[in-house]
């Protein structure tokens, strides 16, 4: 069949138009795609929308996983000045205590202690070492030099209380004549009711600001707590002494400065009731300095029937019962 040119012209025009239209659409698509891709790349370069600019949670800093925990840190020094003498530290653990702790003796030796009477609770240093810092971590419940001990005078400093719990003991640091406390934390006294003779004859113990923050709310007896601690001069007026029944000889032989003694009496007189009455308290050789403290002392005598012995020339007892 033969077609005339006049009939083919419209058909050819339609085909050419269709081909041109597809080419234009493809070109437009390529252009828009390239522009979009370029825009994403540009945004990524600016750091605004790129996924690399979003912080990854995997990169967050994780807590220290060493597991070391707090430490009971003490410093010991040979009390024997004899050249080449060796000194021994014997940890004053108690029979009813609970123990599962690691001890670093400070000379490269360590031990794990689970029994109060283990041979590992004693350590003798070589002659070349006259001073050492001992670090204890984990469970140590029960500590008392009550029976004395070969090393009590070697204890020079408590740097941190850490996990130490005194337990139901007394005379915890008795006769530690060279002891000073520099710890900024406080001991855990939650399982302790008695501080009887705690620092008896600790002649070098003077001030430790953190002691003001001790939680003594469970304590019922402070008898002889600082008896013979002749250098002691620390304000304790913030102590919650409402459960304390006995304070005999608490500061026996001690002369607190007037400002310290005033702070103690004033603070203790202001604690809210209920509180123990009829407490016998010894302020040692201390005297009241201010009128405010004089009033506080009188309040303890009259309102709570305390008996107070100190160097103040005022009545020591008012109640007759």
Angstrom distance (rounded) from CA 127 to CA 251? 38
* pLDDT value of residue 68: 73
* pLDDT value of residue 5: 40
CB 93 within 8 A of CB 174: no
CB 193 within 8 A of CB 222: no
One DSSP character per residue, 72-124 reads EEEEEE-S--STT---EEE----TT-EEEEEEE-SSS-EEEE-STT-GGGEEE
Provide CB contacts within 8 A for 319, sequence distance 6+. Answer: 278, 301, 302, 305
* pLDDT value of residue 45: 36
Domain ranges of the chain: 67-165
CB 144 within 8 A of CB 170: yes
pLDDT in 10s for each residue of the chain, 321 residues: 444 444 444 433 444 444 444 443 344 444 444 443 333 333 333 333 333 333 333 333 233 334 478 999 999 999 877 666 789 999 999 999 999 999 999 999 999 999 999 999 999 999 889 999 999 999 999 999 976 677 899 999 999 999 999 999 999 999 999 999 999 999 999 999 999 999 999 999 999 999 999 999 999 999 999 999 999 999 999 999 999 999 999 999 999 999 999 999 999 999 867 778 899 999 999 999 999 999 999 999 999 999 999 998 777 887 865
CB 140 within 8 A of CB 99: yes
* pLDDT value of residue 36: 38
Beta bridge partners of residue 123, listed in sequence order: 89
* pLDDT value of residue 25: 36
């Amino acid at each position: 069949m033969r077609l005339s040119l006049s009939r083919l012209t419209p058909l050819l025009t339609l085909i050419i138009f269709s081909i041109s239209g597809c080419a234009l659409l493809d070109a437009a698509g390529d252009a828009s795609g390239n522009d979009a891709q370029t825009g994403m790349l540009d945004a990524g370069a600016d750091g605004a929308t790129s996924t690399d600019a979003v912080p990854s949670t995997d990169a967050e800093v994780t807590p220290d996983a060493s597991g070391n925990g707090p430490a009971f840190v003490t410093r010991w020094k040979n009390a024997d000045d004899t050249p080449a003498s060796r000194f021994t530290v014997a940890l004053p653990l108690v029979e009813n205590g609970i123990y599962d702790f690691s001890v670093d003796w400070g000379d490269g030796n360590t031990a794990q202690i689970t029994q109060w009477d283990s041979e590992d609770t004693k350590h003798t240093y070589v002659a070349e070492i006259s001073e050492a810092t001992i670090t204890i971590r984990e469970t140590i419940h029960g500590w008392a030099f009550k029976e004395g001990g070969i090393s009590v005078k070697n204890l020079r400093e408590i740097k941190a209380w850490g996990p130490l719990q005194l337990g139901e003991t007394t005379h915890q640091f008795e006769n530690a004549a060279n002891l000073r406390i520099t710890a900024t934390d406080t001991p855990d006294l939650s399982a302790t009711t008695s501080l009887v003779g705690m620092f008896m004859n600790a002649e070098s113990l003077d001030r430790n600001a953190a002691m003001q923050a001790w939680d003594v709310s469970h304590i019922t007896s402070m008898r002889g707590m600082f008896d013979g601690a002749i250098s002691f001069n620390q304000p304790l007026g913030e102590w919650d002494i409402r459960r304390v029944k006995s304070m005999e000889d608490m500061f026996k032989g001690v002369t607190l400065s007037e400002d310290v003694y005033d702070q103690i009496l004033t603070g203790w007189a202001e604690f809210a009731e209920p509180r123990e009455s009829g407490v016998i308290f010894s302020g040692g050789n201390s005297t009241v300095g201010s009128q405010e403290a004089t009033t506080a002392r009188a309040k303890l005598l009259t309102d709570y029937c305390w008996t107070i012995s100190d160097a103040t020339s005022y009545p020591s007892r008012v109640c007759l019962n």
